[in-house]
Amino acid sequence: MNLAYLLIGGNLGNRSANLQNAIHQIEKNCGKILDLSAIYETAAWGLSNQPSFYNQAVSIQTNLEPKALMEQLLAIETNMGRIRSVKLGPRLIDLDILLIDQLILDTEILILPHPSMEQRRFALLPLAEIAPNLMHPILQKTIQELLMHCSDQLDVQKL
């Protein structure tokens, strides 16, 4: 069994319904949902001329190996109608793996821990809500510590 922490988000369509649909699909296809953060609204990061995002952290218990989990999440995105056209652009749904247990992994399909999560308040804030004492396996700091030292100034509001 693996314990995985995901970040789900999107900024197109009915954002709340899309998050709920993604959660349902994750539970159906990936593993048991253990915890959910509140939903947070965030200005777009990286490519700012687009609608704001809804983001939510999710922890799951899964039998899937990391690569298989990533492939399943990509399939869920596709099934929900995600079209990849512009890097960091608008999207109906985005499913990212932030951490799996204390794994460190660098493959073509997946890098663990997520390579830029410590630079993104919109990822750290919901993750800190459900796992504040979780240790980043490379930086050796808790999620709460990473959040306190995050230089990202984008506005992140709990809904």
Q: What is the CATH code for 2-158?
A: 3.30.70.560
**Residue 126: alpha-carbon gap to chain centroid:** 9
Do 43 and 52 touch, CB atoms closer than 8 A?
yes
Tens digits of residue pLDDT in 115-144? 999 999 999 999 999 999 999 999 999 999
pLDDT digits (tens, 9 = 90+) for 18-69: 999 999 999 999 999 999 999 999 988 777 788 899 999 999 999 999 999 9
**Active-site residue, selected from the candidate residues 15, 91, 120, 121:** 91
Whole-number Å distance between alpha carbons of 12 and 19: 11
Q: Is 15 annotated in the active site?
A: no
Determine the Cα–Cα distance for residues 146 and 124; give it in Å rounded to an integer.
7
98 pLDDT tier (thresholds 50, 70, 90) = very high
* 94 labelled catalytic: yes
- Of the residues 15, 35, 82, 155, only one is catalytic, namely 82
What's the predicted TM-score (pTM) here?
A: 0.94
Single out the catalytic residue among 15, 94, 120, 121: 94
> Is position 82 annotated as part of the catalytic site?
yes
Contact 72, 29 (CB under 8 A): yes
User: Which of 15, 84, 96, 152 is an active site residue?
Assistant: 96
